Amino acid sequence: MKLSKNKSSNQVRITVSVPKSYVELMDLLVDQKLYHSRGEIVQTALRDLLIREAGLNGEGIIRLKKSITSH
């Protein structure tokens, strides 16, 4: 996985490989205007995974949601 820091924000760019079928489905969701971009889909999925798996709650969830929705 490749990491690079975006100088203008607190976001970090990562590079991952996913099956082509995932990308095709993500593109359908973007085409249907359910999400603005593939990146938004990945951020939403990752946020939901972290909430579920890491047991984030209360203030941590609020901060995480604000962080993701503000970008």
pLDDT higher at 49 or 41: 41
Residue 67 has a pLDDT of 74
The pTM for the full model equals 0.65
Q: Tell me which residue range forms the domain holding 28.
A: 2-69
Name the residue among 8, 66, 37 with its Cα closest to residue 56.
66
Split into its structural domains, the chain has a count of: 1
Name the maximum alpha-carbon separation found in the chain: 36
pLDDT tens digits along 4-47 = 555 567 888 999 999 999 999 999 999 999 999 999 999 999 88
